Amino acid sequence: MTIRITGTGSYIPSIIEKNEDFYNHEFLNADGSSINSTNEVIVEKFKAITGIQERRYIKKDLLNSDIAFYASQKAIEDAKIDKESIDYIIVAHNYGDVKHNAEQSDTVPSIASRVKHLLKIENPRCVGYDVLFGCPGWIEGVIQAKAFIASGLAKRCLVVGTETLSRVIDKHDRDSMIYSDGAGAVIVEESDEEGGILTHETATYTLDEAHFIYFGETNHPEITDQRRYIKMYGRKIYEFALTNVPLALKSCLDKSGVSINDVKKILIHQANEKMDEAIVKRFYKLHNMEMPDGVMPMTINTLGNSSVATVPTLYDMILKGELENQQINKGDIIIFASVGAGMNINAIVYQY
């Protein structure tokens, strides 16, 4: 028996927010002081570092659970399964359902319960729960699904990564330009086919790193409401990721017994184009190799950073032929990898 992804689905929001749309924002430093640059210069520097030209936001009437449901429907249809046969629904997110202009997140009931409700699954033995694991949450959900199936506790799981970061960004913070919305879902189940999930690696660093990404106040000193926004120490995250993620990737690949020469794609969390490229280059350097062309597909330039949704949406888009010059063929070895709040790192070596 192997454990494989048998169906994929994604939801890409329809609202496109371009870099030029930030020209009229009032960006401030963390201490509330003015930034000594025009917005045009700020945005251009941002693009050079992150690679982001535009990002996607959900419509005002939608919620995180809604787009998770849409992606799940597509994954179920793609896998050609009966939804009532799903044993677990594992939903990775970080901020729950945040209504447009709301000051409070809603996480009761869980997003997984809401998705099950929207799917109209009647089977009470289909258990839904949420994973709060930062950006690596979807990969961790797949790892948990594998554990359930390998132990005999489940045969089939729905794993979703969904986030609406547009609802928790501080418009006075330059980092707000990174974030976006989206949802990706997969069906993970036991199979008679070869390949599937070969091995995984997970680590959590908290001694000094726990609060590199956090919830904080707006940068605007005159706004006194109690609302909190996603915040990060970008330089610290960059240095942490470049030091630790390549080593985690190498450890995961070493455990799989697969040669790095056989790796066809590395689907890494779309956090920051320059950072992702540096991570993968260092990974190959650990093997005394140069990074091959085309091994690291990117969607961040047009979709932004949608946290837990970046990896499953990237995977779905490639399989559906929606990413130019990118494809995954039968038998290909790919690596899923992510780093994010916690600070958490994980990876999966997978044979398609």
Q: What's residue 225's pLDDT?
A: 77
Nearest to 163 by CA among 324, 21, 304: 304
Tell me the pLDDT tens digit for each residue of 32-80: 888 888 989 999 999 998 999 999 999 999 999 999 999 999 999 999 9
Supply the mean pLDDT for the chain.
94
Tell me the pLDDT tens digit for each residue of 131-154: 999 999 999 999 999 999 999 999
Q: What's residue 226's pLDDT?
A: 76
Q: What's residue 227's pLDDT?
A: 83
Lowest mean pLDDT among 50-64, 95-109, 160-174, 247-261: 95-109
295 burial via Cβ count (<10 Å: 0-12, 13-18, 19+): middle
Compute the distance between CA of residue 58 and CA of residue 163 in angstroms, rounded to an integer: 10
Q: Domains (ranges, CATH) in the chain?
A: 2-192 (3.40.47.10), 198-351 (3.40.47.10)
Lowest mean pLDDT among 34-48, 72-86, 87-101, 213-227: 213-227
Q: What is the mean pLDDT of residues 24-38?
A: 86
Contact indicator for 291, 43 with CB cutoff of 8 Å: no
pLDDT-derived band of residue 219, with 50, 70 and 90 as boundaries?
Answer: confident
Q: What's residue 1's pLDDT?
A: 85
Does 221 have pLDDT greater than 80?
A: no
Q: How far is CA 327 from the centre of its chain?
A: 20
| Cα dihedral across residues 318, 320, 321, 322: positive or negative | negative
Q: What is the mean pLDDT of residues 94-120?
A: 93
Tell me the pLDDT tens digit for each residue of 175-205: 899 999 999 999 999 999 999 999 999 999 9
Token reading at 347: 């990876």
Does 217 have pLDDT greater than 90?
A: no
Q: What's residue 149's pLDDT?
A: 97
Q: What's residue 19's pLDDT?
A: 94
The predicted model scores a pTM of 0.94
Q: What's residue 35's pLDDT?
A: 87
Compute the distance between CA of residue 137 and CA of residue 120 in angstroms, rounded to an integer: 24
Tell me the pLDDT tens digit for each residue of 305-333: 999 999 999 999 999 999 988 999 999 99
Does 123 have pLDDT greater than 80?
A: yes
pLDDT-derived band of residue 101, with 50, 70 and 90 as boundaries?
Answer: confident
| Cα dihedral across residues 195, 129, 57, 95: positive or negative | negative
Compute the distance between CA of residue 27 and CA of residue 33 in angstroms, rounded to an integer: 9
| Cα dihedral across residues 257, 260, 262, 266: positive or negative | positive
Residue 105 DSSP code: -
Residue 302 DSSP code: H
Per the DSSP assignment, residues forming a β-bridge with 187 are 7, 158
Q: What is the mean pLDDT of residues 233-246?
A: 94
Q: What's residue 283's pLDDT?
A: 97
